[in-house]
Amino acid sequence: MSYMQYLPPELLSYILELACASEPPAQSRAAAVLGRVSKLWREIIFSTPAIWTTFQIPHNHFSKGFDEPLSRSGSMPIDIYIADEETQLRSAREQLKALIGHSSRWRNVEISHPVGFDLLGKSIPLTLPQLRSLKVDITAQKLSPALFYFYSFPEYSTASDIDLQWCSRKYPSLRYLDLSDVELRPQQTEDFLSFLEAHDGLERLALKNIWECHPYAPSQTVVLPKLRDLELRGITSSEILLWVSTPSLHKLTIEKHSQLKRWTPVDIKSNYASATDVTLIRFSTSPDTLRNLLNAIPLATHLNITSTDLRAPDSFTAESVLLEHKIPNLTSLHIQGVSSPRQAQAVAKAYCATLKDLRVHCLDLGLPRESSSKEYEEMEDASTWLKSQTAFKFGIDHSENAHGVRYRRYEDQISGAKMVCQGSRCGTLP
């Protein structure tokens, strides 16, 4: 410890700043722990504004506790996290009120709470000149099983019941916007699109589980020239694909809602034509829809097609659509949900000129117990051919369900011995 006393104060300050920055959003907590090491460390930590720029709103905090950290942060931009579902709405509002006096310095705001949109609509200022990132995630309140049947759940307002005043919000520095579980009426949709149009500097936009009271096709598509990453998850209508156009798009993720049975094809035109890294989720059983989307991404080089329901391999159509609709620059293909190993082999042969990486999932290479010996032979032949290729890299991943965990079902346990997996990453299912 003694040699640390001889480090220049500027270097020690930088080291402590990095140590605290590695623990967001508990940055202040890490600073308090490191400040107990020695008097010198405590003095340097207290005099380094960058260490005191993160403010977390827990359920047991008082607004007066922000006074000293705000003073120590000087004029530095600050980050605000509300990520405790036990925080009462009134307490969260009081603590945010204590920070509003410094709203000109707000840089990142992240809300993960059952009433996230209530906080956004009533407690987040309409004008934040330095705000770069805004994330609102609606979470469920956690209760122990013993209290579940005795707890009186409050009547939380939904996003559609709250005036979020999208047209009045001015965040000129906004670069990252992430919203989930938003229910929009047509007028609210128009207001939200006007908000996006006024913030054309966005680089990442993520909309998850966006519910439209009535599917709404905008009169004009909003152009976001700097958007590089677009994530649309759990979408309930194809009209959402018409909301924005992104001439500089690199990464595109689209997930169809699990309850959406009928998809109306829409003319996406060139809205996403520049996307090179594309993930399509829950489209493997909808050939017309998948074909519609593949037509919109002619420059894709990395394509991930994922099905989260692996119980009906006969309904998977990703390979047949890929064989019918060639993507000229495809170098990396990742499919969860192939109809058969032979079809995967056919796709690999069709794209052999450009393909460098092909990945499938363990359950895609397994067969039910009642399969014929001929089907097993065809599976083995196709698997052997795929693994012996040197023109591209072939890999086998774990199969995952809709929650991102390992897929399990009774039939898979029976045929576990026939699963083909790479090394020891995936053994037979228990």
Contact at 8 Å (CB) between 178 and 201? no
The confidence score (pLDDT) of residue 47 equals: 74
Q: Which amino acid is it at 183?
A: E
The confidence score (pLDDT) of residue 421 equals: 43
The confidence score (pLDDT) of residue 110 equals: 92
The four Cα atoms 156, 160, 161, 166 give a dihedral, to 10 degrees, of: 110
The confidence score (pLDDT) of residue 411 equals: 42
Contact at 8 Å (CB) between 401 and 407? yes
CA proximity to 306, closest of 402, 239, 407: 402
Per the document, the length of the chain is: 430
φ/ψ (deg, to 5) at 425 = -65, -30
Give the tokens for residue 380: 């083995």
Q: Using alpha carbons only, give the angle 111, 113, 117 rounded to the nearest 5 degrees.
A: 70
Q: How many angstroms from the chain centroid is the CA of residue 309?
A: 20
The confidence score (pLDDT) of residue 360 equals: 83
HSE-CB of 36 using CA atoms within 13 angstroms:
5
The confidence score (pLDDT) of residue 212 equals: 65
The Cα–Cα gap between 226 and 247 comes to 8
Give pLDDT tens digits along the chain (430 positions). 566 667 777 777 777 777 777 655 556 677 777 777 777 777 777 777 887 888 888 744 555 667 788 888 888 899 988 876 666 777 788 888 888 889 999 999 998 888 888 888 888 999 999 999 999 988 765 444 444 444 444 444 554 467 788 999 999 999 999 998 877 777 788 889 999 999 999 999 999 887 766 666 777 899 999 999 999 998 888 888 889 999 999 999 999 887 776 677 778 878 999 999 999 998 887 888 888 899 999 999 999 998 876 655 657 788 889 998 889 999 999 988 787 778 888 899 999 999 999 988 766 665 554 555 666 677 778 878 888 888 888 887 767 766 666 655 444 444 444 444 433 344 433 3
Contact at 8 Å (CB) between 391 and 358? no
Q: How many angstroms from the chain centroid is the CA of residue 7?
A: 42
List all residues 6 or more positions away from 101 whose beta carbon is below 8 Å from its beta carbon.
none
The four Cα atoms 370, 376, 379, 381 give a dihedral, to 10 degrees, of: 180
Contact at 8 Å (CB) between 330 and 356? no
Q: How many angstroms from the chain centroid is the CA of residue 336?
A: 18
The confidence score (pLDDT) of residue 345 equals: 87
Hey, which residues does 235 pair with through a beta bridge?
256
CA proximity to 252, closest of 303, 318, 319: 303
Q: Using alpha carbons only, give the angle 206, 209, 212 rounded to the nearest 5 degrees.
A: 110
CA proximity to 240, closest of 258, 256, 261: 256
φ/ψ (deg, to 5) at 405 = -110, 165
